[in-house]
Amino acid sequence: MTLTLAEMAVEVLTTADGCAKTALSHQHANAWFAARAGQTDPIEIGRADPPMHPARPEAPQLVDPRDVPKRKPGSPAGRIALLHAVAHIELNAVDLHWDIIARFADVPLPPGFYDDWVKAAQEESKHFNLVCDCLEEMGSHYGALPAHAGMWRAAEDTADDFMGRLAVVPMVLEARGLDVTPGMIKLFRKAGATQAVEALETIYGEEVGHVSYGPKSRKINKPLS
Ligand SMILES: [Fe+2]
Ligand SMILES: [Fe+2]
């Protein structure tokens, strides 16, 4: 039986392992776009009951941001710590995008809304994988260091507030990422870390698009027929 888009979103949210989560995210995004292109049967938006918190892997250990160890950004350990934090943000972003689809499935929205958010979810999945590859190339992996425990806070605070969620995800969380990425690219370029530079440039280019998906988005304002 074909899953609805909301059910697909819940599957992603309830998958703990990062690689499994992003693989499922890609698979469901591809299914959505194949249906939208008329290559397969249409996918209903449906209804689902997303968990309040997405499933997370056993590692990294989630700690208060004050307890995330600080390392000199100029050192190899510092660069690994920085990329580890980015991987954590990207994994959280995968869940944020699917969560908005599942949690607000009862809000009537045009198909273009889902195209935007499914595409962004797929790009976040790619970002997580790109950063994980960089970590592995540097002899580390996602889960090797503690990570920020408060990442889901904004999602919790806006669980009943669709417009609030639409404001906070692109215009605060994602915009913040955009602000810090150029500085990170410079830092990794200086260190000759080509793979990380390329990954961060890809991420930066795609995040510019995500920041445009706020409440003022042309597609949200379009009246529904
Ligand atoms: Fe991203
Ligand atoms: Fe994003």
pLDDT tens figures, 95-113: 999 999 999 999 999 999 9
User: Residue 132: which CATH number?
Assistant: 1.20.1260
Judge contact between 6 and 105, C-beta under 8 A: yes
CA 129 – ligand 2 centroid, Å: 14
- Check pLDDT > 70 for residue 29: yes
Q: What is the DSSP letter of 77?
A: H
Q: How many domains is the chain partitioned into structurally?
A: 1
CA distances from 153 to 88, 108, 222 (A): 14, 25, 30
Residues 128, 123, 98, 14: what is their CA dihedral angle, to the nearest 10 degrees? -30
DSSP label at 93? H
Whether 61 is in a domain gets the answer no
Residue 54 lies in a domain: no
In a domain? residue 113: yes
Domain range for 13: 5-49+66-221
Centre of ligand 1 to C-alpha 199, Å, is: 10
Q: Within a domain: residue 121?
A: yes
CB 17 within 8 A of CB 58: no
- Answer for the pair 175, 112: CB distance below 8 angstroms, yes or no: no
- Does some domain include residue 60? no
Residue 135 lies in a domain: yes
C-alpha 60 – ligand 2 centre gap (Å): 21
Six-digit token pair at 61? 């250990």
The DSSP call for residue 17 is S
pLDDT above 90: percentage of residues in the chain: 80
Q: Using the mean position of ligand 1's atoms as its centre, give its distance from the Cα of residue 169 in Å.
A: 12
**85 vs 78: CA distance, rounded Å:** 11
Could you tell me if residue 111 is inside a domain? yes
Residue 74 Cα to ligand 1 middle (Å): 23
A 10 A CB-CB count for 200 gives: 26
Q: Looking at the CA of 199, name the nearest ligand.
A: 1
Residues 185-209: pLDDT tens digits?
A: 999 999 999 999 999 999 999 998 8
pLDDT in tens, 145-183: 999 998 899 999 999 999 999 988 877 888 888 889 999
- Burial class from Cβ neighbours inside 10 Å (0-12, 13-18, 19+) for residue 104 reads buried
Residue 26, in any domain of the structure = yes
Residues 6 or more apart in contact with residue 5 via CB below 8 angstroms: 28, 32, 43, 44, 45, 46, 101, 105, 114, 118
CA of 1 to the centre of ligand 2 (A): 31
